[in-house]
Amino acid sequence: MDQPHLEEDRSSKFSPSKLSVYQNCPRRYQYRYVDKISRQRKTPETVVGVAVHSTFEELYALVTGGKVPSLADLHEVYEREFAEGWDGSVVEKDARFAKDDWRKVGRDCVQLYYEGHQPFAADRTVAIEKRVGFPITVDGHEYRIEGFVDRLALAPDGAFEIVDYKTAKSLPNQQHADEDWQLALYELAVRREWPDTKEVRLKWHYVRHGKTLVSIRDDAARAKLLADAAELISRIKHDHEFAPRPGTLCDWCEYRDLCPVFADEVRVAALPPAERAKDGGVRLVASYAEIEGRRKRLKDELKAVEAEREKVESDIADWAEAAGVTTVAGERAQASVTVKEEIQLPTKTGEAEKHAELEAEARKTPLWAEVARLDGHALLDGLKARRWTGELLALAESLVARFGHRTHKRTVRLKRRADSEED
């Protein structure tokens, strides 16, 4: 049984990554920052990331000293850093890629960046791996938000550029960059340090792809960011439970064996193999997995039958039209064809834009009251997300209190374990 944890968070400093850990899963935050359980896990990705960052650190240290190294020199730095990083503690999860494959990933990143940016004169490096931070007052207490900027540069137009290097496999889109708050928090620190700063550009070099994303925030976005960060710190400081938030990150969570969500996984792993197969829970999950597999196969089959049926229906209608009849005779059955004209309106899923236009037009007319229907999900979701304030919020709460009743909806979802073999 999961015990509520009463330990308080005593942090006085928060980094953007620390805040993100809480946002993604308060329990993971608790293990790492409240209970301070050290579980640093070295993966091939972290080895490559650290080696590439160290290589760029060396590159810009040389460039600021007036010397542009050759690509061969830089590769040498990278190879040394990678070799030092890849020790016996690296946890390799994907057998398809060996150490040499990972070494090459970082080497290619260095090459792509070098070729795309030499002679590195587009800006002037102000600092490398610079610690930045600022105080933030939350509920009457003062805390600090701190972190390290990979590289701080001054562009020829006088703008500061906060540069981050990413070795991730995936390339996020612009929206992701515009919503990122790590570099945006660093911007607040930079603006405090240099108050006459006009523009600050947030720049991410996705070095596996040779692609740079840039985001510029306005006053309103910066004010909102500060308010959001304060609100999050306040939530952390008032949290006495640090409830687990299971999700996709659980597969990589270093505290999985401690987490109450996976207590049964730990129990089953400790059973001798012969007992494991007889275990009640294990057998239920096996049976559920088998049923789910059958259900999926039947669903696929039904989908194929529906497609076949539609095709034959269309062929029959064509045949009837060509023959000038409305009933097509078979040996034991007959198929009758009716043609009826009907109006189809744009749907939310089919033609979203037209559907929105239609709704906007209808809303302007008295017809709206006649054709609009209550969307219970929208009411409950809106309440949960605190989408309204004041009178509207009170109204929504009172409607739900009057007409809603509490039930316990039990949902079972089958998820393949990350360490299980594919079928």
Interface residues with ligand SF4 (CB under 6 A) are 25, 27-28, 244-246, 249-250, 253, 255-256, 259, 261-262
Q: Which is nearer to ligand SF4, 19 or 250 (CB)?
A: 250
The DSSP bridge partners found for residue 336 are 327
Contact at 8 Å (CB) between 198 and 190?
Answer: no
Q: Which sign, positive or negative, has the C-alpha torsion 83, 150, 214, 71?
A: negative
Closest approach, Cβ 38 to ligand SF4, in A, equals 15
Using CA atoms, how far residue 334 sits from 4, 60, 167, 308, 410, in Å, is 68, 81, 64, 18, 47
Closest approach, Cβ 29 to ligand SF4, in A, equals 9
Q: Which is nearer to ligand SF4, 12 or 38 (CB)?
A: 38
Closest approach, Cβ 232 to ligand SF4, in A, equals 17
Closest approach, Cβ 262 to ligand SF4, in A, equals 6
Q: Which is nearer to ligand SF4, 104 or 245 (CB)?
A: 245
Q: Which is nearer to ligand SF4, 85 or 244 (CB)?
A: 244
Number of other residues whose CB lies within 10 A of the CB of residue 415 = 10
How far apart CA 272 and CA 285 sit, in angstroms, is 18
Q: Which is nearer to ligand SF4, 37 or 305 (CB)?
A: 37
Closest approach, Cβ 415 to ligand SF4, in A, equals 12
Q: Which is nearer to ligand SF4, 169 or 415 (CB)?
A: 415
Q: Which sign, positive or negative, has the C-alpha torsion 191, 168, 125, 198?
A: negative
Closest approach, Cβ 30 to ligand SF4, in A, equals 8
Q: Which sign, positive or negative, has the C-alpha torsion 291, 297, 301, 304?
A: positive
Q: Which sign, positive or negative, has the C-alpha torsion 66, 68, 69, 75?
A: positive
Enter the tokens of residue 347.
């749907």
For 290-298, the CB contacts below 8 A with 24+ separation are: 292/414
DSSP code of residue 158: S
Q: Which is nearer to ligand SF4, 183 or 253 (CB)?
A: 253
Q: Which is nearer to ligand SF4, 202 or 253 (CB)?
A: 253
Q: Which is nearer to ligand SF4, 39 or 283 (CB)?
A: 39
Closest approach, Cβ 234 to ligand SF4, in A, equals 21
Contacts of residue 423, defined as CB under 8 A and 6 or more positions apart, other chains included, come to none
Closest-CA residue to 156 (of 104, 201, 194, 189): 201
Extended strands (E) in 74-182: 124-138, 141-154, 160-166
Q: How many Cα neighbours within 13 Å face the side chain of 400? A: 17
Number of other residues whose CB lies within 10 A of the CB of residue 22 = 23
Closest approach, Cβ 66 to ligand SF4, in A, equals 47
Closest approach, Cβ 2 to ligand SF4, in A, equals 11
